[in-house]
Structure 1
Amino acid sequence: MAGSNQTRVVISGIGIVSPIGIGIDTFWQNICSGKTGISRLESIPTENLPSKLAGEVKDFNPEVHLYNKKFLKVMSRDIQLGVAAASDAVKNAGIKRGVVDPERFGVSFGAGHIPTTPDELVAAVKLCAEDNSFEVTRWGEDTMGQITPLWMLRQLPNMPACHISIEHNAQGPNNTITSQDSSALLALAEAMRWIRRGAVDCMVVGACTSNINPVDLSRKNLIDLLSRDEDPKRACRPFDRFRTGTILGEGAAAFVVENYDHAVRRGAEIYAEVIGLGAGCDGRSDTNSDQESDTGLIRAVESAMRQANLMPHQLGHINAHGKSTKIDDQVEARAYHRLFGDDAIKIPITALKSYFGHFDAGSGAVELAASILSLRHGATPATLNYETPDPLCNLDVIHGDVRPMSKRTAMTVSRTSFGQTAAAILRAI
């Protein structure tokens, strides 16, 4: 509980690699100026893809961010984004070798499904092909030698956390969270538990995902509603009445999460304090129209609010999941009304996937970064493309211009397509 004798947990470093900017200054400047990161796909052919738009990270050179450049050859795009964000966060926190006891320095990182690219397996597949059929028995006999022995290291979701620990000599607890959109906040929750137990002084937390891949784009289209809008600037419209679906993207954000007393002793700059973090799951898909499909979100927010000892009117903003699909946004809006009653319409809401799209674990981390920076600057970015309010999403959606924050707290929410939700509440220091 806020105000108790429990160990305080703070954010002392941030790193961002996103479609609207690499680094916290560029990211914040672009999000406040309303610059979208969604554009026509450039890195892969689009003629056979269901959606031609995405939020791509452009001008990204991993060698600028990574210390151990020799590992790049075994890093997929997802891993490169995550490790780069973590390196920037550690640098931003002012942590150099020897500043933190390695055995009390850990990593908890979120990752999504990391697909292989077709070109990595095409040579092996060709050797198994005969008369337009695939001979499975040939796979082990003739083709394994066509695949690099280190191929698997590019696909494993635990590799971002492994590389981060090697990069920064973090010899403490190390874990990977693979819970789609909620991964970053669940990783933060785990870090808080380690810190409050006194097992560590400092953790690197975050998440990374890249859905800019023909396999992922096609797979996601089977289970999600992707926008078919041809205009990149208007394609993603959370809570707008005429939203047509979400847009996929890529990105990562990482944070140095620290015991407050430890941060003060080493003279760290503190961005915010984490004062509440809850999780919940209703165990149902959003395709289920049952009125109870928002219970996971309700449980998560109730738990976070209870830990933070806050009332609804004390929230500076809610950084919503805001996926920009009909069902997701309606379920989320309904949950806020069930939670807060008449106060729901009074709480400022922002939905930042309108800037960079949806990329599972990574987008939750980037949204968390945005809320922390909002507290730092005392302002909440507007939701892009919110033009026509949806009567089934009756919320105070910030649009048009950045809105000054009148409160010093903010909540960010991430939710999976199966109803698992995490909510974090932060306070400016």
Structure 2
Amino acid sequence: MAGKKTPGVVITGVGVVSPVGIGNERFWSNLVAGRSGIGLLRSVPSESLPCKLAAEIHDFDPLEYVYQKKFLKVMSRDIQLGVSAASLAMKDAGLATGKIDPERLGVEFGAGHISFTPDELVEAARDFGDPTNRKGYTRWGEDSLGKIAPLWMLRQLPNMPACHVAIEHEAAGPNNTITSADSSMILALQEAVRCVNRGHADAMIVGACSSNIHPVDIARISLYDNLSRQIDPETACRPFDLDRDGTIVGEGAGVVVVERYSHAIARGADIYCEVLGVGAGCDGRGYENGSGGRGLSNAMSAALKRSEISPSEIGHINAHGKSTLRDDFVEAKAYHRTLGDHGGRIPVTALKSYFGNFEAGSGAVELVGSILAMKHGELPATLNYKHPDPNCRLNVVREPQRLRSSVAMSVNRTSMGQSAAAILRAV
């Protein structure tokens, strides 16, 4: 049983920009109402793409959330989503500029591959001429490179979300970027907790962002992952269901403010929950899944050990729930290996059924979902779970239900086997 010792590191602010809603209230109300954010792909032509569905954010205007508007020209959509979610989280935490020593405020952010749009290079490419003409390469160096915006590369660098967030909030403390795809958010949380525990910061802005709403991304992902071929957006993404046939691409960002408990209390902050423990692991076999999710098992075991709790105390699991045959099976196997009999009894929700998978950002939005679930004492259902897969044998939540415990575990796992698990407890 977890002890009654004083909390160490707590979460005092939450911000989310997602296909299910922007801001905590809209996001939460749509989750508990079972409203999916998946629809027909509208932002780009989809005729030649392998999947015609996506979870897009249609009502996002960065001008409403980004303070340093002059930097918008060097922010890709991924970065805009992350910076906006950070502004929402800091506002929610009540940590306005000047309320904390800048050198005691840090940033830990997860990001992934950031695609550029063809129009950014069209003028430079126009002068390239006939690709069979060797002289064209000389012209590229002499003439075309000069037509690329000098700051073009800043839109594509994965460390830029952390940089822009730091500039927005005058965070001069520790600053780092995690690029570990789906597991990035929880790994960023792990490092942020370490920074606070080491005494290097009093508060950390922790988040992750990504957008896969891009023709090249969708084509690229389809080469190594299973995208759903369903035509009905309402039932396309169905984690752990027997009839699942793949995931759906999406976009979004989630951010939390992590703070030393004594610092939060001293400034009178409202506290969502305590970070009990975070663990990480890797299968080492990637796509082969030969280890059967051992990396995820190791991550959960480490998180449980650091949290000093038993599996019986976990009130719900916020699953990775990618909705592919391979990944869901490996994930379920890891739960049974690590949690024993509790692996089939603990309530499980898979929020990707609402907004698909967008790697680093989806893990962040899922973590926000668990935090808000603990705040409201209610667990959102997993959408489209109609036919349980006998190879998974999990207690997947089909209807919203009251939480039985104030402890939550959120997990994420990449296709290459990198895994992370976080255990939180409402305060």
TM-score interval w.r.t. the shorter chain?
Answer: over 0.9
* Matches of 2:119 and 2:220, distance apart in 1: 17
* Matches of 1:92 and 1:381, distance apart in 2: 22
Q: How big is the shift at 1:136? A: 3.7
Aligned to 1:130: 130
> Could you say what secondary structure the match of 1:129 adopts?
coil
Aligned to 1:424: 422
- Over the matched positions of the two proteins, sequence identity in percent amounts to 60
> Could you say what secondary structure the match of 2:246 adopts?
coil
> Could you say what secondary structure the match of 2:293 adopts?
helix
63-72 vs 359-368, greater mean Cα deviation: 63-72
* Matches of 1:337 and 1:120, distance apart in 2: 48
* Contact 1:110–1:361 (CA under 8 A) maintained in structure 2: yes
> Could you say what secondary structure the match of 1:128 adopts?
coil
Q: How big is the shift at 1:318? A: 0.5
* Matches of 1:131 and 1:258, distance apart in 2: 55
Structure 2 unaligned blocks of 5 or more: none
* Contact 1:313–1:346 (CA under 8 A) maintained in structure 2: no
Q: How big is the shift at 1:16? A: 0.3
* Matches of 1:131 and 1:340, distance apart in 2: 58
Give the RMSD, CA atoms, in angstroms.
Answer: 1.5
Aligned to 2:405: 407
Report whether the alignment pairs 1:315 with 2:314: yes
Amino acid at match of 2:390: P
Report whether the alignment pairs 1:30 with 2:30: yes
How many residue pairs end up in the alignment? 426
* Matches of 1:426 and 1:402, distance apart in 2: 20
Moved over 3 A (4+): 1-7, 131-138
Q: How big is the shift at 1:126? A: 2.5
Aligned to 1:226: 227
TM-score (norm 2): 0.97
Aligned to 2:207: 206
> Could you say what secondary structure the match of 1:209 adopts?
strand
* Matches of 1:289 and 1:282, distance apart in 2: 7
Aligned to 2:341: 342
Tell me: CA distance 1:289–1:100, structure 2 relative to 1, closer, same or farther (3 Å): closer
Aligned to 1:193: 194
Aligned to 1:256: 257
Q: How big is the shift at 1:4? A: 8.4
* Matches of 1:316 and 1:129, distance apart in 2: 62
Aligned to 1:361: 360
Q: How big is the shift at 1:44? A: 1.0
* Matches of 1:81 and 1:3, distance apart in 2: 38
Structure 1 residues 311-340: Cα deviation after superposition (integer angstroms, max 9, x where no partner): 111111010000000000000001111112
> Could you say what secondary structure the match of 2:268 adopts?
coil
Q: How big is the shift at 1:397? A: 0.4
Structure 1 residues 83-119: Cα deviation after superposition (integer angstroms, max 9, x where no partner): 0000010011001122111110000000010011112
* Contact 2:382–2:397 (CA under 8 A) maintained in structure 1: yes
* Matches of 2:34 and 2:170, distance apart in 1: 38
* Contact 1:253–1:369 (CA under 8 A) maintained in structure 2: yes
* Matches of 1:269 and 1:7, distance apart in 2: 14
Amino acid at match of 1:36: S
Aligned to 1:11: 11
Aligned residue runs from structure 1 range 52-91, under 5 A: 52-91=52-91
Amino acid at match of 1:244: D
Q: How big is the shift at 1:155? A: 0.4
> Could you say what secondary structure the match of 2:127 adopts?
helix
* Contact 2:296–2:334 (CA under 8 A) maintained in structure 1: yes
Q: How big is the shift at 1:341? A: 2.1
Aligned to 1:215: 216
Q: How big is the shift at 1:242? A: 0.5
91-100 vs 133-142, greater mean Cα deviation: 133-142
* Matches of 1:105 and 1:346, distance apart in 2: 40
* Matches of 1:213 and 1:127, distance apart in 2: 25
TM-score (norm 1): 0.97
Structure 1 unaligned blocks of 5 or more: none
* Contact 1:374–1:380 (CA under 8 A) maintained in structure 2: yes
* Matches of 1:341 and 1:136, distance apart in 2: 61
Q: How big is the shift at 1:131? A: 6.1
Q: How big is the shift at 1:132? A: 6.5
* Contact 1:304–1:423 (CA under 8 A) maintained in structure 2: yes
Q: How big is the shift at 1:6? A: 8.3
